[in-house]
Structure 1
């Protein structure tokens, strides 16, 4: 057994406390560290600029056979009128890192979802927007439609209940 005087014992105890504190800080820092993302955007969605829903809609408008009406379940004139009313509510601003999805594409995406009853995954492949983002766009645009068109159409209480959930 080693005998220690009071001063050595105090120095050793202080060193132990400092080292323990440093070790705890290191553990805390490691636990806070987030895992790095494997990628910023899925490769499939990186071609959104060239093959987006906006380009698809432009192609549908050029088609004389009325494909746009089948796609959105409304005429282009009605679509544009609705877009003028709702665009200030649903548009987002571009950031330094990425461009925002335009209001026209947000509305077309929502109308396609409501018209087809398809899944967010199928819309993901069509519009090249992630299913997670689609799951936030559709309720947002539906709420904006209710807000903007509430004086034109009467939405039932049950429908409003499900939109708020």
Structure 2
């Protein structure tokens, strides 16, 4: 994924994945998207991603499903349209 596409996607998902720092820990915000995209692109296990993302397996188990849900919600309207007519289904079949 090129930088422009990544930044465009990050702009869409940031309001939903951004977290606040606390006195106990620093928030993982933009890294949530990076870890999720790495998981989706490589199919690696959470255990393997621990070392490349420097996040715990427990964090990844929470972050990746949440971020996938957010990506789906923000992109579905424009990019994941479900065919509504027989004509649209026929066009998809032809393509």
- TM-score interval w.r.t. the shorter chain? 0.7 to 0.9
TM-score, normalised to structure 1, is 0.48
Within 5 Å, which residues of 2 pair with 1:92-103?
92-102=19-29
Residue deviations 1:101-150 (CA, integer Å, cap 9, x gap): 12x21101000000000000111011111001101000000000011111
Q: Point out where structure 2 has 5 or more consecutive residues left out of the alignment.
A: 83-95
What does 1:1-165 correspond to in 2, within 5 Å?
A: 74-102=1-29, 104-154=30-80
**Rg (Cα) greater in structure:** 1
Instruction: Please tell me the root mean square deviation across aligned C-alpha atoms, in Å.
Output: 1.3
The structure showing larger relative contact order (alpha-carbon pairs under 8 Å, at least 6 residues apart) is 2
Q: Aligned pair count? A: 82
Q: Which segments of structure 1 move beyond 4 Å, counting only runs of 4 or more?
A: none
Cα deviation per residue 1:67-106 (whole Å; 9 max; x = unaligned)?
xxxxxxx11100000000100101111111111112x211
Task: Give secondary structure in 1 for the equivalent of 2:13.
Answer: helix
The answer on whether the counterparts of 1:146 and 1:155 sit within 8 Å (CA) in structure 2 is no
